[in-house]
Structure formats: C-alpha cells, structure tokens
Amino acid sequence: MNSSNSFSISFWLKKTAKKKDGRIPIYARIRFEGRYSDLSVHRSTFEERWCPILGKIDHRANEANSINRYLDDVHAKLLECHRQLIAEGAVINAKIIKLRYLGKDRVVRTLKDIIEFHRDHEMPKLAMGTIKNYSATETYLLRFVKKKFNSQDIKLSFIDYAFLVEFESFLRNGTPINKAQPLTNNGIMKHMERFKKLVGTAFKFGAIPQNPFNFYHMKFEEYESDFLEEEEIQRLFSMHIDEGGIAIVRDIFLFACYTGLSYIEVKLLKRGDIVTGIDGEEWINVKRKKTKTPVRVPLLYHAKAILDKYSDHPNVDNDHTLLPVFSNQKVNKYLKVIATKAQIDKHLTFHVARHTFATTITLMNNVPLETVSKLLGHTKLSTTQKYARVVEKKISKDMAQLKAVLEKSPEKEVVNGQKPEANLRIIR
C-alpha cells in the first residue's frame, strides 16, 4: 500500500494483545522515512480469517465486507492527513501523521501556538515574577517576527540556528520594552534561556526536526552583586526616618539581611514558620518559593527584634503574615530613598539583603561556605561560590591583623637592620 517512496500504510494483527475469545486487535502501521508509528483501529478478528499479504480479512469470512471497508476508510484518511501536512509545509513524521488522524496535532504548529501552550500548561506552575519575565520574552519574539517576516506569526519550521542568532542581535540592537532600562548581556541571555524552553517544548512535540539550541551557546558575564558592609548595616539601624512607609521598608530589608530570605519568602512568612530548633532556640522553617527546597535558619537577635516590633501585625486581614510587606515595586522604590538618606552609594534592591546575609553576616563571621549554602536553600554549592570574593576580603582583614601582630614582634628588629640581643656564632 505504498503511497510514496518514504510513506506507507499497512495493517497487521497485534498477537500479543489477543483477547480471551481468541480475537486479535487490528493495527495500522504508518511508516515515514524509515520510522513508524502504530495506531489501533478499534477492530479485531480471528487469526485464521486474516490475510497478512493483503492486510485484510479473507473475503469469505462473514465480517469481511464491513471491516475491510472500514480499513479502506482508515487508509484513505491517513493518506489525506499526509497530503494536508505537505500542503501546510509542516514538519512530517509518522507520529505527526498519527496525531493528525487522531485530531491531536493542533497543539503546536506556529510560534504563537507554542507560546499559548506554554501559557496554558506551564505558566500556572511559575511564580508571578517569572511569568512577567516570560511575557517580556514573548513580546520581544513577536516584535522580531513582525520586523523580519512582516507577519504576526510564523511556522515553527522557520526557527533554525540563523533565527536564534538574528533574534539575539535584535535584542542587542533593538528598542527595549522599558526605554529607561536597556537590556544588558545577561538580560539578553535570560530571554534566550526562556526562548530555549519554548523551542525545546516544540521539539518534544515533533514540530521541528531538530533543536537549533543544540548549536547555540549562551554567554553570561560574571558580575559581583552589591552587598552591605557592617558599617552600612549599622547606619541603617541608627538612621532616623520620619516617613512610616519608608521606616517599615528599612526594617523589612534589615530582617532579610539577618535571615537571607527572599522578598516573597519574607512577604509570606507566618507564625507557623517559626519553630523550635534542635538547640531549643527559635528557627525559621520555610520552603524556597523558587526551588521548593526546605530552608531552616536560626532566628538571630536582630531579626527577632524586628518581628517583636511588628508583633501586633498578624491578623485575618493580612492572612496572618508576620510582617507588613509592600509590593516589590514599592519596596525597591523606597530602598532607593533609604540608600540616599543613609549615604549608601550602591544600587539598593531587596535582593541585596540576601547577598548581605551570605557575605557580611555569615561568611565574614567564619560561617563555612557549605553551611551558608544550606541557609540560603541552594541546591548546588557552586551557586553559593559566587560569594567567595568575600573570603578574599576576609583574608585581607585577617592578614591585616597578622601584620599588626608581626609589627610588634622581636623579629622586626632584624628586618630593620638591628642585631638581636643574642650573640650568633658561625660553626665551621
């Protein structure tokens, strides 16, 4: 039943699925370019009535006419599915022909299809901040398609290695969504990372013959995130703030400095998240919102003092959360004001508090890197190692103390050219 050199349809009996009454299910086998996909036609017969050469029931059997006509209809529909896919210029394989026959192939054919599929099935699993980032990536992709193809959408088969390179160039040279915030190299790579997930999903559906991201390498630039020094933390504690909202943000930020919790983790913190630890002291016991990794952090004195300060905050109106946390946008806006008031010449965002906990609060106080990794809820130690620059800072501090000790030692006199009090004798 060949319809072309690379495409064929045949019918066969699946003997491994033989029923109790002796009947054997009939299957269609779709072959395309050396690969095949099997399809149940929901009909069965006895082995002695089947003609394997013709792929039909022997015409002398009672059921021959009805089942053979049905098999002819299945064959004709599969041929039509193949014809439709060719006319559409779609990527074709045996599985896609089968899905078209079953009416299940409509999931992803175009870029907008894969975007909609991701919105419906993947985005509900993501945090709001991540959803917002995907929306930005989608906007850039559709802008690029409009510019390059003068179209609102394209078939997924148009996405190849050249598409990736040109899209990256578009991000580097095009107008950013927020004109006040031009895209950095790492921002561009994050858009490519999200696009990679969309293309990977399309590849899994068989909508593209190969994943072009297999040949594309992302290049992130190393950067050092800001964190507060001990003196800057003390400056925040001691500064007088008249505005109530700004004072609250200062307190919440300092709470994060002494716990390492992210914005959303502080915002959702409830009384039940404060537990008694193995040492009999109070600990914070939560799951990281991003990775669902359990995090247990001892409640340090300064963090506990801030919780005590807002002890009357939890109530039914705020879902019993422990601290009055504003929106992320408002918090970061107030942090800029706080940085100016405290004369801190750093780009202060809420995430700086997490870096401050990892560096000034823990590593600089001799807490081992492995422990810091656990406190931050990192799944890999390598993620924490980006804070290793603080170890260098601590080495500098320790060496300065060592230098001060050596300055006072007797050996310094020898360095200064003075003889030591003890006499030296040369032994030959």
Give the CATH class of 230-393: mainly alpha
226, 347 in Cβ contact below 8 A?
yes
Question: Which amino acid is present at 159?
Answer: I
pLDDT digits (tens, 9 = 90+) for 299-344: 999 999 999 999 988 877 778 899 999 998 899 999 999 999 999 9
Q: What is the C-alpha to C-alpha distance for residues 68 and 60, in angstroms, rounded to an integer? A: 12
d(CA 202, CA 137): 16
Coil/strand/helix, residue 120: helix
99 vs 423 pLDDT, higher one: 99
Q: Kindly report, residue by residue over 58-82, the tens digit of the pLDDT.
A: 999 889 999 999 999 999 999 999 9
Q: pLDDT band at residue 52, thresholds of 50, 70 and 90?
A: very high
Catalogue the E-assigned strands of 3-74.
Answer: 7-13, 24-32, 35-45, 50-51, 56-57
Q: What is the pLDDT of residue 382?
A: 75
CB count within 10 Å of CB 49 equals 18
Encoded tokens for 65: 């006419």
User: What integer pLDDT is reported at residue 416 of this predicted model?
Assistant: 54
Q: Between these two residues, 401 and 177, which has the higher pLDDT value?
A: 177
Domain assignments of the chain as residue spans, ordered by start: 7-106, 111-215, 230-393
Whether the per-residue pLDDT at 380 is higher than 90: the answer is no
Tell me the per-residue pLDDT of 166-203, one tens digit each, with 9 for 90 and over: 999 999 999 999 888 899 999 999 999 999 999 999 99
Q: How confident is the model at residue 251 (pLDDT cuts 50, 70, 90)?
A: very high
Does the predicted TM-score (pTM) go above 0.85?
no
CA distances from 40 to 78, 104, 105, 156 (A): 13, 15, 17, 29
pLDDT of residue 222 exceeding 80, the answer is no
Concatenate the DSSP letters of all residues of 343-377 into one string: T--S---HHHHHHHIIIIIIGGGT--HHHHHHHHT
Is it the case that residue 385 has pLDDT exceeding 80?
A: no
